[in-house]
Amino acid sequence: MKKLLGVTGCPTGIAHTYMAEEALKEAAEKLGAEMKVETNGAVGVENELTAEDIAECDGIIVACDKNVDMDRFNGKPVIEVPVADGISKAEELVQKMLNGNVAVRGGQVKAEGTETKAEEGKDSIGHQIYKHLMNGVSHMLPFVVAGGVLTAISFLWGIYSFDPSSDQYNVIAATIKTVGGTSMGMMVPVLAAFIAQSIGDRPGMIAGFVGGMIANNTGSGFIGAIIAGFVAGYFCKFVVNALKGLPRQFEGLKSIFFIPIITVAVVGILMQVTAGPVSGINKGMMDFLAGLQNSSPIILGLAVGCMSAFDMGGPVNKAAYVTGTTLLAQGNFYFMAGVSAACITPPLIIALAATFAPKKFTKADRAAGLVNYVLGCTHITEGAIPFAAKDPVRVLPILMVGSSISAILSYVMKVQVPAPHGGFLILPLVHPAVTWVLCILAGSVVGAVLYVLTAKDVEQK
User: The sheet that has 34-41: what strands, in order across it?
Assistant: 44-46, 34-41, 3-9, 59-64, 78-81
From the list 271, 285, 282, 280, the residue with the least C-alpha distance to 227 is 271
Q: Is 165 exposed, middle or buried (0-12, 13-18, 19+ CB in 10 A)?
A: exposed
Which helix (H) or strand (E) segment holds residue 193: the answer is: helix 187-218
- Taking every pair of Cα atoms in the chain, the longest distance, rounded to a whole number of angstroms, is 74
The two counts, helices (H) then strands (E), for the chain are 18, 7
| Catalytic (active site) residue 439 | no
C-alpha 156/C-alpha 453 separation (Å) is: 43
Amino acid at 183: S
C-alpha 348/C-alpha 337 separation (Å) is: 17
From the list 411, 317, 305, the residue with the least C-alpha distance to 349 is 305
State residue 38 phi and psi, 5-degree precision.
-90, 130
From the candidates 10, 236, 343, 377, which is the catalytic residue?
Answer: 10
Sign (positive or negative) of CA dihedral 14, 375, 357, 404: negative
Amino acid at 39: T
Active site residues: 10
